[in-house]
Amino acid sequence: MSATAIDVGIARKNREGYADPTMYQALTHLQRVEYGYRPLVYICSPYAGDTESNIEIAREFCATAVARRVIPLAPHLLFPQFMDDTDPGARGLAMFFNRVLLSKCEAVWVYTARVSVGMRAEIEWAHHLEIPVTYFDAGFEEVSVGA
């Protein structure tokens, strides 16, 4: 794992724009002592259909992820706040955003109790990008899925 993937949010340069490796290392150390390392994980769970129930599933999955010391990223909890999932153009744009965000993650966690068409696309993207995919059942326990 590269240092840049781990030390998100810590500038490598000082205010004047010069490299400051000593300060960078000190701040990185303090960050790790305080919070430990937490990878960014893309949360892949259904949205369309019973959105109320699916939003609750995504929230619970994210809470589980935080409890397991990862940073969850669930775009389907964000984009529907201001984009219309029933509008094909807006949905296509949101799926594009999802792919960009997924590419920034170190792993993808998939809720397997119900896999939607959108989720299948996200899983395919993860495999194409060689991002590890972990599968979880309805109780948010890790499960093995045959290839």
Using alpha carbons, select from 37, 36, 58, 61 the residue that is nearest to residue 47: 58
CA atoms within 13 A on the CB side of 59: 6
Three-state DSSP class for 26? helix
pLDDT, tens digit (0-9, with 9 covering 90-100), for 68-112: 999 999 999 999 999 998 999 999 999 999 999 999 999 999 999
Boundaries of every domain in the chain: 3-35, 40-143
Mean pLDDT on 14-36 = 76
Distance separating the N- and C-terminal Cα atoms of the chain = 26
- Please tell us whether the domain made up of 40-143 is placed in CATH 3.40.605.10: no
Query: pLDDT digit string (tens) for 117-143?
Result: 999 999 999 999 999 999 999 999 999
